[in-house]
Structures are given as structure tokens and as C-alpha cells.
Amino acid sequence: QVQLVESGGGLVQAGGSLRLSCAASGRTSSRYLMGWFRQAPGKEREFVAAINWSGDSTYYTGSVKGRFTISRGNAKNTVYLQMNSLRPEDTAVYYCAAGGGSYYPNREYEYDYWGQGTQVTVSL
């Protein structure tokens, strides 16, 4: 089992930045793909970004490319999402996920473990 705890969410004005963190504990010796998803009010959860175990491959949804950066800590059990140039449409609950899949990093079924989520609100 792997436990994931997100932090770093909050309220920010449009154009501002936030850095989300996700700390994994438990069975962290396995080589997990790590990803971030988000769910806005009244919408389905959607893929944001993912990073492979070694950190040398990253994946982003089109709307965040060039604004968000996903990275892993040196110990591999922490993943970050640096979010710059935030827009009101980025407002959502952001979820961290970990999984053994690797073929489709943007699909929820590749992930086995999920955090509780952290709220990000971007105001005008």
C-alpha cells in the first residue's frame, strides 16, 4: 500500500504561481509512475501531468504545457507540480496519483493509489 498526501494548494490571483507537493509513504520502494489530476466543480476529473520513475519522461495535458512543471524529489517519493501563470480555469481540486502503469500516463486506470486532493482557487 502507498499513502499519498498533497499540500500546497490555496487561493491565488490570476497570473500567480503555486507549488503543489505530494509525499508518498508506505511501499515506496516500487517504481511508480506519478501523476496529477484535477477536478473542477461540475466536471469530470482530468489529467494534468505525469512523470515516470526515473524522472526523465514527463507528460502534460495541452492546456498546461509551458505553464506547469512536474518533477520528482531526489528520494523519488515526492513529486511536485510547479504551476505558473495560473488562470481562473485552473481552479479545481488537484489529486496526486501513483501507479505501476506506464503505457498511458494520462489515463486514470494506470494509477492504483490516490491522495485526498488539495484545493487550488485562482481569482481574477
Write the DSSP string, 57-89.
Answer: -EEE-GGGTTTEEEEE-TTSSEEEEEE-S--GG
Q: What is the mean pLDDT of residues 43-62?
A: 95
For the record, the C-alpha cell of 4 comes out as 499519498
For the record, the C-alpha cell of 121 comes out as 482557487
Q: What is the mean pLDDT of residues 46-72?
A: 96
Residue 58 has pLDDT above 90, yes or no: yes
For the record, the C-alpha cell of 109 comes out as 486506470
Q: What percent of the chain has pLDDT over 90?
A: 83
103 phi and psi, to 5 degrees?
-80, -40
What's the pLDDT at 100? 83
Burial 68-101 (b: 16+ CB within 10 A, else e): bbbebeeebbbbbbebeebeeebbbbbbbbbbeb
pLDDT digits over 77-91, tens only?
Answer: 899 999 999 999 999
Which band of pLDDT confidence, cut at 50, 70 and 90, is reported for residue 30? low
Q: What is the mean pLDDT of residues 19-34?
A: 87
What's the pLDDT at 27? 79
Query: 71: which residues sit within 8 A by CB, 6+ positions away?
Result: 51, 55, 79, 80, 82
What's the pLDDT at 14? 98
Residue 19 has pLDDT above 90, yes or no: yes
What's the pLDDT at 29? 63
Q: Are 112 and 74 in contact (CB under 8 A)?
A: no
Q: Are 110 and 103 in contact (CB under 8 A)?
A: yes
